[in-house]
Amino acid sequence: MTNAILKWSLATAMLLGATAMATAEKLVLGNEGSYPPFSMVDASGKLTGFEPELAREMCKRMNVECDIVVMDFKGLIPALLQNKLDAVATQTKPLPERKAKVLFGRPILFNPDSYVVKADKDYTFTREGMKGVRIGLQRGSAQAKYIDEQFGDAVEVVFYDNPDQIRLDLTSGRLDMSLGPKISWTNEFLTKPQGQGWKFAGGDLWTGGGEQGSSWIARKNSQELLDRMDKTIDTIIADCTFTKLRKQFMEVELLPEEAACR
């Protein structure tokens, strides 16, 4: 008899424990995974970089269990729209057609773009000056739209799924130039041996459709989730954890609010 009572109570306890775990909130976040130093996969398969670490800190403070899924940048918004993701934790520029479909949170960083060209070449960035230039761009990116609007058919655009592939082709000579965020390209290319002989050109460009910051995003029906995420990130910035995390991966400051943490 006591044996049976023992077994039943054990089973009930396990069941309650399981339901307790199951009711802990779970969020599925999407991250690009191949955008150093903001996100990368190291040799042991672990997703690391500034944005995943920031996301993990945010989830800890929000008391939720986060599952970070890695996929190519161009797949993030479609996956979000199809409910495969609850939010996207990769910096995204607030282009008008994106704002029509998703909600943008508070800016995570300000990261201007610049052209990456060979050090010994000079280009005039007009339709005539760029005729026949082979430029490597990322699929689905704001830079791709910008180039399409600025130069149309004058340039030859080659699309890639992630920036590492663009850098491979730049160094092997298949491309003349690329357009990308200054921070990532400084960290991953210009300061590395394969980037010797390349430089920025054309000044700082803001290709975000008029707005300058890049943010994380959520669906139009997830305003409440986005507000929670924004508030948590505000606290992370305020107590300088943001700066601490950022310093692990890059020297450049990302937000004006970081000035208080110098």
Counting contacts by CB under 8 A, is residue 159 touching other proteins? yes
Contact string 90-119 vs other proteins (x = CB under 8 A): -----------x------------------
Q: How many residues bind other proteins (CB under 8 A)?
A: 34
Q: Is 29 helix (H, G, I), strand (E, B) or coil?
A: strand
Question: 């000044």: which residue's tokens?
Answer: 203
Cβ contacts of residue 6 below 8 Å, gap of 6+? none
Contacting residues for 93 by C-beta, under 8 A, at least 6 apart: 142, 207, 208, 209, 211, 214
DSSP string for 213-250: -EEEEEETT-HHHHHHHHHHHHHHHHTTHHHHHHHHH-
Interface of this chain with other proteins, residues 184 to 203, rule: CB under 8 A: 194
Whose Cβ is closer to other proteins: residue 165's or residue 212's? 165
Tokens 């760029």 found at: 130
Q: Which is nearer to other proteins, 123 or 159 (CB)?
A: 159
Binding other proteins (rule: CB under 8 A), the pick from 57, 61, 62, 84 is: 84
Q: Does 168 bind other proteins (CB under 8 A)?
A: yes
Indicate which single residue of 25, 65, 164, 239 sits in contact with other proteins (rule: CB under 8 A).
164
* Phi-psi sector, 134: left (phi>0), alpha (psi -120 to 50), beta: beta
Choice between 120 and 153, CB closer to other proteins: 153
Return the number of the residue (50 or 242) whose C-beta is nearest other proteins.
50
Edge-first strand listing for the sheet containing 113-118: 156-160, 134-138, 177-181, 113-118, 198-205
Compare residues 155 and 233 and give the one whose CB is closer to other proteins.
Answer: 155
Binning the chain into helix, strand and coil, the percentages to the nearest 5 are: 40, 25, 30
Q: Does 158 bind other proteins (CB under 8 A)?
A: yes
- Which of 74, 99, 182, 231 touches other proteins by CB under 8 A? 74
Provide, rounded to whole angstroms, the least separation between the CB of residue 174 and other proteins.
5
Q: Which stretch binds other proteins (CB under 8 A): 1-9, 12-20, 105-113, 161-169?
A: 161-169
DSSP label of 185: H
Bridge partner list, 117: 177, 199
- Give contact residues for other proteins (rule: CB under 8 A): 34, 40-45, 71-72, 74-75, 77-78, 81-84, 101, 139-140, 145, 158-160, 162, 164-165, 168-169, 171-174, 194
